[in-house]
Amino acid sequence: MNTKQIHRFVLKYLEATQCEILDKSPYHIKVKLSQAADRELTNRPYYWSFIDRLNETPETMSFLFVTDEEKYEATLAEHPVEEPKLLTPEEKAMERAYGIVPKPLPRIPREHLHFGSSRLKQLFESAENNGSYVCLYQEPQTRTLHPYDSRPYTVWLGINYMVEFSCDLKREEIHSLGISLVTGHCQEQFYDRLTSMRLSPRLPANVHIAKNGISYTKALSIAESHLEKRLKSYNYEWAEKAQARLQEELERLEGFYKPLLAQATDEEQKLEIEQLKEKREEEIRWQYEPRVTVSVINSGIFHLDGID
């Protein structure tokens, strides 16, 4: 991900979690977290358990997220911003004695978000955990002229699959499938279709949902069968080559440990060598053995215009 993609993702996450954007530019976002985002990101379980027990109004944290540090520093050099100052020991003594020294503004933690940073990884995990399922409605492009007209909407089950082809090398693919619950039709690249639409969590006016022809369980089995058929059509020459490399490594392992076992002087030493051999064999199989893994990234129910 480049800096622009990271910036768009972070801004979209903060808006989705209803955080208060205090200031922003193409290179930074200053934000006051919402309660939901604070619970997810700040790792303050004792504070939130205290707030929940006493039913108090919480004070959420603020952050300065910098998505392009070089350009942000250049902007600061041109337009410097005065940082809030801490009280000196003399001012703290006067405050305790007379209560006349105003408290300084709280310092806002600054974090540089780049691909691989722990905070960005935390945002990814939070988005994945809380955005794994959605229910959205397509907003009509044109309004109906008659108040009693009603447009039919089809319910679609949308699933994004991650397919991993693994051996000592690794390749990943994302398959986005949509299954119509009215007709049972399975559409590939369903996510690309959704990106061209305006979607809302609320049902629009003058819209009715068409009766489903299949169940969610049936739609899921259609998606799995479609993906399985697609994967069977692939060329798996890479797996054959990986299996050959695995066999070579196992033969090399056998050649290394066979004389050691022959030279073992007692059963205890022999057992120890065999355990080391088995452990190393497991590691080699994990590294070289070809495998295809399919997992669900996220899914959702989408109500789209028309009968498909």
Beta-strand relationship, 186-188 and 62-66 = unpaired
pLDDT score of 220: 95
Residue 96, pLDDT > 80, answer: no
pLDDT score of 149: 78
Q: Strand locations in 62-127, DSSP E?
A: 62-66, 110-112
d(CA 191, CA 26): 27
With 0-12 / 13-18 / 19 or more C-beta atoms within 10 angstroms meaning exposed / middle / buried, residue 98 is: exposed
Span 3-28, mean pLDDT? 90
Overall residue count recorded for the chain in this entry:
308
Tens-place pLDDT, residues 240-289: 999 999 999 999 999 998 998 888 888 888 899 899 999 999 999 999 99
pLDDT score of 66: 92
Tens-place pLDDT, residues 113-158: 988 889 999 998 888 888 788 899 999 876 655 667 788 899 999 9
SS3 258: helix
Comparison of pLDDT for 128 and 227, the residue scoring more? 227
Residue 86, pLDDT > 60, answer: no
pLDDT score of 306: 86
Residues 6+ apart with CB under 8 A from 43: none
CB-CB contact of 230 with 175 (8 Å)? yes
Rg (CA), the chain: 29
d(CA 226, CA 193): 18
Neighbours of 10 (CB within 10 A): 20
Residue 168, pLDDT > 70, answer: yes
SS3 53: helix
Span 282-301, mean pLDDT? 93
The two three-digit tokens of residue 182, written as one number: 């009215």
pLDDT score of 235: 94
Tens-place pLDDT, residues 37-56: 999 998 899 999 999 998 88
Number of H-type helices and E-type strands within the chain: 10, 11
Tens-place pLDDT, residues 61-85: 999 999 988 888 888 777 665 555 5
The DSSP bridge partners found for residue 293 are 164
